[in-house]
Amino acid sequence: MDQFWSVSLQLLEGFKENCILFGVTLLFALPLGLLIAFGSMSGFKPLKFLCRAIVWIIRGTPLMLQLFVVCYIPPLLTDGSFKFKERMTAAMIAFIINYAAYFSEIYRGGIEGIPKGQYEAGYVLGMKKSQIFFKVVLLQVVKRIVAPMSNEIITLVKDTSLARVIMVPEILKYAEDFTKINGLIWPIFYTGAFFLIFCGVLTLLFRFIEKKLDYYKG
């Protein structure tokens, strides 16, 4: 039993890193994703192509590869003079860019799904485009994207465990160390409980949000 508690505590220590990575990624990727979404819907062609190219590259390559690129390419190109002091920083940058690309497509789907008639009605009433977007469209977008967003955010929880490929000491790495150093196998499977609980809480939270937003049929 003592062993169970000491393993649990150490895994919790590792899971803290997962939570930090999760939080920081959400904090920056949500607004960055909106920027990219605006960019890829922009009437200004170069910006539009640039944003779509970014989304294509980021969605078209494995996140694991992107982690290697962010962590190793800068020092390789600068002969070691530019490197990340904390590997966590490299992981955060890779995750933020990756998730911003996915979020941007969700935003775009939500925004473009609003019927054109609503804009036309707004113009008739003499509203400016920005007024229409913020006062009429945005609230409906939020409601529409809750389900796909919650999907992506729950994926993010589990993806954080990938940070161990650049040696960020997250929970699965702790568990693998238990196997390698102490010869204990069960901690690896036990980590599943941490993710399940975290995702369970998120699921309840999203259900609550969906219910709150259910005041009209959009």
Q: Which residues bind another protein (CB under 8 A)?
A: 32, 35-36, 38-39, 42-44, 46-47, 50-51, 54, 57, 68-83, 93-94, 97, 165-167, 176-177, 179-186
- Which of 92/146 has CB closer to another protein? 92
Cβ closest to another protein, residue 84 vs residue 206: 84
**Residue nearer to another protein on the CB measure, 13 or 120:** 13
C-alpha span between 53 and 57 (Å, rounded): 6
| Phi, psi (degrees; rounded to nearest 5) at 159 | -65, -25
**Minimum distance between the CB of residue 157 and another protein, rounded to whole angstroms?**
22
Instruction: Identify which of 107, 106, 104, 113 has the alpha carbon closest to the alpha carbon of residue 218.
Output: 113
Q: In the bound complex, what is the minimum distance in angstroms from residue 203's beta carbon to another protein?
A: 31
Question: Given the complex with another protein, which of 69 and 127 has the nearer CB atom?
Answer: 69
CB of 36 to another protein, least distance (A): 7
Q: How far is CA 187 from CA 21, 103, 135, 197, in A?
A: 21, 33, 50, 16
Give the nearer residue to another protein in terms of CB position, either 6 or 151: 6
User: What Rg, from alpha-carbon coordinates, does the chain have?
Assistant: 21
- Cα separation, 168 vs 17, in Å, equals 8
CB 66 to another protein: min, Å: 8
Instruction: Count other Cβ atoms within 10 Å, centred on residue 201.
Output: 11
Q: How far is it between the farthest Cα atoms of the chain?
A: 72
CB of 119 to another protein, least distance (A): 16
Asked if 157 and 199 count as a contact pair (C-beta separation under 8 A), the reply is: yes
